[in-house]
Amino acid sequence: MLFPSVQFGIFFPIVLAISWALMARPGLWKPFILIASYIFYAAASPTFCLLLAGVTVWNHGAARLIHRSDDDRTRARLCALAVAGDLLALGIFKYYSFFVQALARALHSVSLGLPLPLLTIALPVGISFFTFQAISYTVDVKRRLIEPATLLDTSIYLSFFPHLVAGPIVRAREFLPQLATPRDPEHVAVSAGLTLIGMGLVKKVVIADYLGRTIVDPVFGVPQAYHAPDVLLACYAYAAQIYCDFSGYTDIAIGLALLMGFVFPQNFNSPYRATGFRDFWRRWHMTLSRFLRDFLYIPLGGSRHGRWRTYRNLMITMVLGGLWHGAAWTFVLWGAYNGLALIIEHALGGKIKLPGWLRWFVTFHLIVFGWIFFRAQGIGLAWTLLTRLVAFGAPTLWTFPILLAIGVAIVPQLLPPRPVGRFEENLGRLSPALLGTGLAVLILFVAATVPSQGVPPFIYFRF
Amino acid sequence: MSTQPKHPDDNLMERFDRAGARRFSARDAVVSMFIAAAILVVCAGASIRKAGHATRSGIGRTAVLAVGYPAGWIADRLPAHHAAHVLTAWLSPDINLSGPGFSQPVSLTTTGAGGVPEVTPDAFAAGDLGLPPPPKRPLHHLLVTGDSMSQPLDQNLAQQLTPQGLTVTRDPHIGTAISNTVLVDWGKLARHQVAQYHPDAVVVFIGANDGYSMPGPSGKQVNCCSAAWASAYANRVREMMNTYRQNGVARVYWLTLPTPRDSARAKIARVVNAAVEVAAQPWRDQVRVIDTVPIFTPGERYRDSMTVDGQPTIVRQSDGIHLNGAGASLAATIVLDSIDQDFTR
């Protein structure tokens, strides 16, 4: 069930009303919200509810066993087993075809048969997100940062529908305390929630989808048909599209949760304002960055064992972070590119003094360049696109609406946050009736921009 | 109004608390949401009903129609729907399709004396008569269209043909079906495409979303997948083929559906493919049906992978319906072989 869909438009107001009606009685509210979340997930594919339930029970059981043990080695082994189980599920559903086909070809080249069936496995929506959240729960219990929750609370934590399919990756220690007591019905961030939902819809439907169908999909699909000006513009357009698509989803998710009384962590903070790659990763998909930092980079040793170990750890973290996005060599390449950029930045360590605007300019363009590998449907196509960047010819796609959409997506990130804050303050003074009316009018206008084929899924749904 | 934190996590809420700003309650959240929903019912109730009609059968469709029918009924009786449409229609990215389409039952039969369908010379391929094939013409413009099945085939064809100086127009209409005119009416769309692009050749790959009931020859709704449904479907396909062939000036390459993994979909695909074969019969040299079943799913048995160029290769997407990049590449090779029988490039 997509957020910008009629189905969700029917589902959410009903769930919201019942949720608040039952909120004071956790014995009723918790089963209700769990069932609602599973209905939401079942709309994508009912069979995958079993997988979600399986991951929940597995990690709940592991956390209980870890908690019972006082021996650190036993705790570590149990935790490793639980994480291995999570990664196995992720590996089978997300990477099986990718690795088995590579293996089949390698074996075929030496005239050997494949010991495994060469088949495709449907990717459960959101598996990358809920397995990471499950890992964070189990590891945090092992680290004694949190107590194990009840099975019901763990189930709600992993399946809570606003963050279920594409994050943000909410840590157990952020979410479980919010389940401990009913949400305060007298303190709900309604204006902030509705503002985020409205902004998210505009970002996703009006900007991201428009750029996708008018320039990004045509140029990245058949770069041979376009010359340098169009290819260049398509690269900027993709930078705008992926930001608006993913941050739009996150805005809606955070907004929905706020209306239900829950607070999610921030996931984006004007990422194209970054003046370095480290800065960028502190602003882009922040919940993934901190997950990779806390559960991969630091356990690998972080920056504690000298320069070369730091570089190795950065590269491993970013390559695996790239692979997390999908089973394709382009994602590995994109991860390695980011790892290399972080290593170079670390190695330079302020030895080269550049003015702020120049650091921003260089960073921004290096990030846009990196997105080519992220978006291209194969390394061959990425290479073709790069060669077309030097194929001179007349622009055909430089239209005012496309330039405007790119500008609207990127330029506000470079401005001071004050105008947005003032806008939200003004909204906060409106009555609920006016806020609801405003949201409805916005939805009417946003819906009018949707083509008959409907709203395409969020880019991060396939991750 | 309390300013003391009541909950251990209230500090998280500080991010959204503005100094001096109003504090809303759960009641405000529900009220604002229901006011928004009520306005949308009044102004867009018909669109909710339309969305229900465009949804595949299942609980989701039932739920949307359960709201859509009363919402549409309310919207139909109030002027707000029309006003909202007037205010927002200019934003629509859809092309305005006009002329007769599939909303009316299609009847194409050319009858000779005594009501017997007439056989025309176009029904014979030159090769079948032992005649030399017609001379090849240069290919300038190829249109690749269909539903999501046409992707990434369209991309693959464009990648191969564009460097040769050909124009390849890709016009996929995702989620659409020939048997359902709610999202797009393919009868109208085909005419629009021909008028806009004047292609020398058209590649069509469609049918993955089909199976909707539609009006049969008598005007009564017929359900998939009876002979009556197959004939209604074949008539629609035949009208599209007739449009795309442009009185014999252009060539059409229509791909059948490779058998899907799901048995219910496989049953529909079989009928769709049979209808396509029948539909193409009047124009054997102008409309070539490229049967993908023996290539991808011999014996109508679904398979994820096959040997391509001596390598074990996955050719289907994980949904068990679409071709993946490798599968589309193989399909593109077969389509180009067929195009090369008619055109030089």
Q: What is the mean pLDDT of residues A10-28?
A: 95
- Whether residues A105 and A228 fall in one domain: no
Mutual angle of helices A228-259 and A400-414, in 10-degree steps: 60
Residues of B in contact with A20 (CB under 8 A): 26-27, 29-30
Say if residues B320 and B302 touch (Cβ distance below 8 Å).
Answer: yes
Provide the residue count of chain A: 463
Domains of chain B in start order, with CATH, are 25-89 (no CATH), 120-344 (3.40.50.1110)
Phi, psi of B254 (to 5 degrees): -110, 120
Q: Is A325 noted as a catalytic residue in this protein?
A: yes
Residue in A120, A225, A377 nearest the CB of B158: A225
Which of these three, A148, A180, A212, is where a domain ends? A180
Residues of A in contact with B320 (CB under 8 A): 120, 122
Predicted local confidence at residue A438, as pLDDT: 93
- Whether residues A157 and A230 fall in one domain: no
Span A182-201, pLDDT tens digits: 898 988 889 889 999 999 99
Predicted local confidence at residue A368, as pLDDT: 97
Predicted local confidence at residue B9, as pLDDT: 44
Interface contact B16-A263, CB threshold 8 A: yes
- For residue B215, the cross-strand partners are B221
Residue B105: band (very low, low, confident or very high) from pLDDT cuts 50, 70, 90: low
Say if residues A268 and A254 touch (Cβ distance below 8 Å).
Answer: no
Query: Tokens in use for A201?
Result: 């819809």
Of A305, A325, A346, A365, the active-site residue reads: A325
- Whether residues A248 and A122 fall in one domain: no
Using alpha carbons, list the distances in angstroms from residue B280 to A39, B122, B254, B290. Answer: 44, 10, 9, 11
* Total domain count, chain A: 2
Among chain B residues, the shortest Cα distance to A256 is held by B29
- Whether residues A327 and A446 fall in one domain: yes
- Whether residues A143 and A241 fall in one domain: no
Predicted local confidence at residue A162, as pLDDT: 95
- Whether residues A169 and A198 fall in one domain: no
Residue in B38, B173, B305 nearest the CB of A453: B173
In this model, does residue A429 exceed pLDDT 60? Answer: yes
- For residue B251, the cross-strand partners are B201
Interface contact A120-B170, CB threshold 8 A: no
Q: What is the mean pLDDT of residues A331-360?
A: 91
- Whether residues A174 and A201 fall in one domain: no
Among chain B residues, the shortest Cα distance to A225 is held by B162
Here the ipTM equals 0.83
CA distance B172 to chain A (A): 10
Residues of A in contact with B4 (CB under 8 A): none
CA distance A262 to chain B (A): 8
Which of these three, A149, A180, A211, is where a domain ends? A180
- For residue B144, the cross-strand partners are B170, B203
Residue in A12, A101, A187 nearest the CB of B13: A187
Say if residues B301 and B261 touch (Cβ distance below 8 Å).
Answer: no
Q: What is the mean pLDDT of residues A396-401?
A: 94
* Residue found under tokens 């009641």: B27
Instruction: State the Cα–Cα distance between residues B310 and B234, nearest whole angstrom.
Output: 37
- Whether residues A130 and A205 fall in one domain: no
Interface contact A440-B43, CB threshold 8 A: yes
Question: Residue A200 sits in which domain range?
Answer: 190-456
Domain for residue A463, yes or no? no
Say if residues B108 and B117 touch (Cβ distance below 8 Å).
Answer: no
Span B260-312, pLDDT tens digits: 999 999 999 999 999 999 999 999 889 999 999 999 999 999 999 898 888 88
Q: What is the mean pLDDT of residues B78-104?
A: 83
Dihedral of the alpha carbons of A164, A167, A168, A173, in degrees to the nearest 10: 40
Mutation to test the A interface, candidates B9, B32, B88, B321, most A Cβ within 10 Å: B32
Interface contact B152-A97, CB threshold 8 A: no
Cβ-Cβ pairs closer than 8 A, A with B, add up to 235
User: Strand runs (DSSP E) across B174-234, as ranges?
Assistant: 201-205, 214-215, 221-222
- Whether residues A155 and A203 fall in one domain: no
Nearest Cα to Cα of residue A247 among A171, A168, A191, A170: A168
Span A370-389, pLDDT tens digits: 999 999 988 999 999 999 99
- Whether residues A95 and A113 fall in one domain: yes
Cis peptide before A79 (omega within 30 of 0): no
Domain for residue A185, yes or no? no
In this model, does residue B108 exceed pLDDT 70? Answer: no
Residue A268: band (very low, low, confident or very high) from pLDDT cuts 50, 70, 90: very high
Residues of A in contact with B6 (CB under 8 A): 184, 187
Which of these three, A180, A208, A236, is where a domain ends? A180
Residue A204: band (very low, low, confident or very high) from pLDDT cuts 50, 70, 90: very high
Interface contact B318-A118, CB threshold 8 A: no
Domain for residue A54, yes or no? yes
Query: Tokens in use for B282?
Result: 């009047």
Instruction: State the Cα–Cα distance between residues A272 and A406, nearest whole angstrom.
Output: 12
Interface contact B40-A9, CB threshold 8 A: yes
- Whether residues A270 and A356 fall in one domain: yes
DSSP B49-93: HHHHHHSPSSHHHHHHHHHHHHHHHHHHTSTHHHHHHHHHGGG--
| Mean pLDDT, chain A, integer | 91
Domain for residue A23, yes or no? yes
